[in-house]
Structure 1
Amino acid sequence: MSDLKRTPLFDLYQEFNAKTIDFGGWALPVQFSSIKAEHEAVRTKAGLFDVSHMGEFEVAGEGSLAFLQKLLTNDLSKLVDGQAIYTAMCYEDGGTVDDLLVYRKADEQYLVVVNASNIDKDWDWMVQYKPESVSMKNISEETALLAIQGPLAEGILQRLTEETLADIRPFRFKADITVAGVQALVSRTGYTGEDGFELYTKSVDAPTLWKQLLSEGEKDGLVPAGLGARDTLRFEAKLALYGQELTREISPLEAGIGFAVKVNKEDHFVGQDALKKQKEEGLSRKLVGIEMLDKGIPRAGYEVFVDDQSIGFVTTGTQSPTLKKNVGLALLEIAHTELGTKVEVQVRKKRIPAEVVSTPFYKRPRP
C-alpha cells in the first residue's frame, strides 16, 4: 500500500479502525465498522465520507462559459453564482469521457469536479479544446473533500457554522464560509440518495474538520463511512458510477442520465450529433433494474440472457442493505427492458432467474 496515493486524512484512518484498499491507485477506506452499519447510519442518521481523491479544476477567464458549453452535455447558460450542475463530457461518438459537477463561483469563474480515476484523462481532454483566454488550474492535490450525508447531516453541520444552511438549497453552495474554524465551500450535493453536504477545503485543514465533525455528531449517531457504503448507497439511488454505468462505450443516454444531456442546446458540444441521433432513432439498449428471483447476487460483468441469447450485462449488483433483496443494474437490449420481463443472470456456472424492476431501488422519504 506504500506506493498508493493518500488523502490528507490517511493518518487518521487507523484511529477509526479503517480497512483500507487500493481504489484506482489510492489507499482509501472501504469500511470503518461494517458496510451495512455505515449504510444504515447514512439512511437513518448521518455518515461522514472522505472523498478527497476526487479531482478539482479551476476554470476562469473570458470565454470560460463558452469553453465549458462546448465540452459538456448539460446547459450551463442559466447557472447563477452559487449554483452547481451535474453533467457529462463525451467523445464525438457519444461515449462518456466522465460525469462531473460544475460550480459557478462568479461570472466566467467555475470549479469543475471530476472522478479520481479520470483526473489526468479529463485534464488532457479539456486542455486540447481550451482557448488562450481561458485559464485552467488543477487544484486536486491542495483540495480535500468531505461529505456529510443523511437526515441528521444539516443539524450536525449547523452547530459548527454561523451560516444558515437551510438557505443552501439542493445543488446550491456558499463558496467561502467558516465551519469549525475552517474555511470551506459548502455545497448541498452528495452521492448517497440522502440529503447532505459536501465540504471543499484546503488539504491541510481537512484533518481538523474531520475530527470536529465526528466529535460534534457523535451524540447524533454520525459515523465515519467508507467506499463500500458509498457504493451501496449510490447504487440503491441509481446514481451512475463511472467505469460501471458510464464508460467509453456507454453513452449518458444509455446509462439513464438523459436529464443531464441537452441535445438541442444552442451551444454545440462534443458528441451532440451522436447523442441527438441516438435519441431520435431510439436507444438500442438501456440501463434497467433487475431483481433476482432465486439465490444469487448479480455482480458487475455478469451476462444476462433471454432464451439462451445474451442480451446484456450487469453493471452493478449487490444485496441491497435497505431492501434486503439481491438486485442489480444491467445494460440490456431495448427489447427486453419492459418492467416484468423475465431474464436469467449467469452466476458462475448457473443461470439464475431474475426480473426487470423499476428504479431507483430507494427514494428518500419526503419530509
Structure 2
Amino acid sequence: MTDPALPCESAPPRETALADRHRALGASFTDFGGWSMPVRYSSDLAEHHAVRSAAGLFDISHMAEFAVDGPGAGALLDHALAGRLSTLPVGKAKYSLLLAESGGIVDDLIVYRLAEDSFFVVANAGNRAPVAEALRARSAGFDGTVTDVTDEYALIAVQGPSARTILEQTAGLAARTRPLEDLPYYASAEGSFRGARVLIARTGYTGEDGFELYIEPSRAEELWDALTEAGAPHGLVPAGLAARDTLRLEAGMPLYGHELSLELLPVQVGLGRVVAVDKAEFVGKAALESVVATDAPVLVGLVSDGRRAGRAGYAVVDADGATVGTVTSGALSPTLGHPIAMALVAPTHATAGTELALDVRGTRIPATVTELPFYRRTK
C-alpha cells in the first residue's frame, strides 16, 4: 500500500510555498528531488560570491522532516542511525547517517534534539520515502513514534558572513530560548515570527556561517519578505540550487547520489567518524564490522589549473592512462578561480599530492589529489 503522505514517483514536481516569490524574482527552475526548485535568479557566480562575502537567501523547503517522539526516542535513533543520538543535549544538532543492513548509505541526515523526548530529523528530498520506511520499520519495539511532518514546514536558509546581523534586524523575528549571538554552530533555538513558531537552527550547506528557519508554509512568504527587507542593506541576494551546489562542493560537503549511495560505506567517503562503532548495536553495524575492502575506492579532492572542470562521471586516470577512479562532483570554483572536483579513486592513488588526470571529453587535464575541504571560512 502506498502511504498517502509520501510523494508518488510519477507525480509532477511539487512547488514550495515560495514559488510565487521565485517567479516574481525571475528564477529559472529545475526538477530536484520531486520538487520544482529555483536553480538561479541572476547568475550562478553572483549568487555564489554573495554568500561568501555577504549573504544568500535560499528556499530549501524541499527537504524532508520527521518528528521522533516518546520516552524511547533516543534509543530508537541509536538503533536506527549510525551515530549516538541518545546523549545529544537538548538544543543541539548532529550530522548522522541512516545505513542499510549492508552498511551502505540510505541517506545523510541532521538530527535536532528539541526536548528530552523529542527529536527532529531532516533528510534529503529525494530520500523522503526510503527514510520514512526505514525509520518506521526500525521503531518497532521502542517506546517512540515516527511522524512524517514534511508538509508542516517551509524551510528558509540565510547563509553568509552577514547572516546573523540580518536575522537580528528582521522585523518580528525573535529567538526565545537563547539569543542568536549565543547560539553555537549545530545548535537550535525556539523562536517566533509575528506570532508563528519558528525553529532557528545554526546549520547550513555552504561552508559559511548561517541559519535555517523552519516555519509553517502559510507564513513562509511573509518571513521571506521580512528577511529580504532586513538583508537589503547588507548585500543579501536570493540564491538558487546552482550556487548552493558550488558552495557545498568548495566546502567538501557530500551530495547524496554523487558522493553518497547505497553502494558506498561511510569509511570510503571520509565519514567513518560519524559512525559510533562503540554502540552495542545499530542497523548496518554487523556489515561494517565484517566488510574489509582495502582496495575499495575512497573519496578525495582534486584540483586542476585552467578553466576546464571535470564533471560527475568523468574518468580519473593515472600517468599511464589507466582508469583509477571517477569524478563524483566537479566545477570551476568561483571562490578559488580554478577547477575542483571530488572523486572516488583507488586507495593506491589517494595520497595528497598524487598527480592524476581527468578525462574531459577525450582530453587529459592534469589534476592533483588534495585534502578536503577546498575552502574553509576563516571566522
Tell me if structure 1 keeps the 8 A contact 2:77–2:86: no
Deviations 1:265-305 (A, max 9, x none): 23x11112333455x77563211111124552110011111
The one of 178, 189, 192 equivalent to 2:206 is: 192
Which of 326, 330, 346 is 1:333 aligned to?
346
* Residues 34, 125 of structure 2: 8 Å contact kept: no
Mapped to 2, the partners of 1:233 and 1:282 lie a distance apart of 31
Partner of 1:55: 64
Whether the 8 Å contact between 1:190 and 1:197 is mirrored in structure 2 is yes
Alpha-carbon contact 2:307-2:338 (below 8 Å) kept: no
Query: Quick check: 11-20 or 111-120, which moved more?
Result: 11-20
The SS at the match of 1:128 is helix
Kindly indicate whether residue 98 of structure 2 is the aligned counterpart of residue 86 of structure 1: no
Instruction: Pick the aligned partner of 2:368 from 343, 351, 355.
Output: 355
Q: Deviations over 1:299-345 (max 9, x none)?
A: 00111112232211001000000001011000111000111111121
Q: 1:259 to 1:354 in 2, by over 3 A?
A: same
CA distance in 1, matches of 2:194, 2:378: 30
Q: Tell me the secondary structure at the aligned position of residue 53 of structure 1.
A: coil
Paired with 2:210 and 2:295, the residues of 1 have a C-alpha distance of 34
Q: How far apart are the structure 2 equivalents of 1:127 and 1:181?
A: 33
1:240 matched to 2:254: yes
Aligned residue for 1:183, secondary structure, equals strand
Displacement, 1:178? 1.5
Measure how far apart 1:162 and its partner are.
Answer: 4.0
**Which residue in 2 is equivalent to 1:147?**
157
Contact 1:180 1:212 in 2 (8 A): no
Aligned match for 2:34, one of 25, 42, 49? 25
Q: Is the 8 A contact 1:294 1:354 kept in 2?
A: no
1:68 alignment partner in structure 2 = 77
* RMSD (Å) for aligned C-alpha atoms: 1.7
Aligned equivalents of 1:339, 1:137: Cα separation in 2: 44
- Equivalent position to 2:113, from 81, 104, 107: 104
1:131 and 2:131 correspond:
no
Distance 1:140 1:64 in 2: 19
Q: How big is each residue's C-alpha offset from its partner over 1:36-65, in whole Å with a ceiling of 9 and x where there is no partner?
A: 101100001000100000000111123211
Deviations 1:131-176 (A, max 9, x none): 263222111012111110100000110123343201111111113x
Match runs of 1:162-241 below 5 Å: 162-163=174-175, 164-175=179-190, 177-179=191-193, 182-241=196-255
1:45 paired with 2:59, answer no
Amino acid at match of 1:97: V
Residue number in structure 1 paired with 2:312: 300
Distance in 1 of aligned mates of 2:254 and 2:188: 22
Q: Which of 340, 345, 353 is matched with 2:358 structurally?
A: 345
Normalised to the residue count of structure 2, the TM-score between the two structures is 0.92
Shift of 1:77: 2.6
Query: Residue type matched to 1:204 in 2?
Result: S
- Residue segments in structure 2 that go unaligned for 5+ positions in a row: 1-10
Match of 1:310 among 312, 315, 323: 323
* 1:255 corresponds to which of 247, 269, 272: 269
Taking the aligned partners of 1:189 and 1:126, their CA distance within structure 2 comes to 23
Do the aligned partners of residues 169 and 294 (structure 1) sit closer, same or farther apart at CA in structure 2, a change above 3 Å counting? closer
Q: Percent identity?
A: 43
Partners of 1:50 and 1:147 within 8 A in 2? yes
1:209 Cα shift? 0.5
Q: Is the 8 A contact 2:325 2:345 kept in 1?
A: yes
Provide the aligned length of Structure 1 versus Structure 2.
Answer: 362
CA 202–295 in structure 1, closer or farther in 2 if over 3 Å, else same = closer
Give the secondary structure class of the aligned counterpart of 1:329. strand
1:179 CA displacement: 3.3
The secondary structure found in structure 2 opposite 1:141 is helix
Q: Deviations over 1:151-206 (max 9, x none)?
A: 0000110123343201111111113x123554200011000000011001111111
C-alpha distance in 2, partners of 1:265/1:44?
42
Instruction: Specify the code of the residue in structure 2 equivalent to 1:139.
Output: V
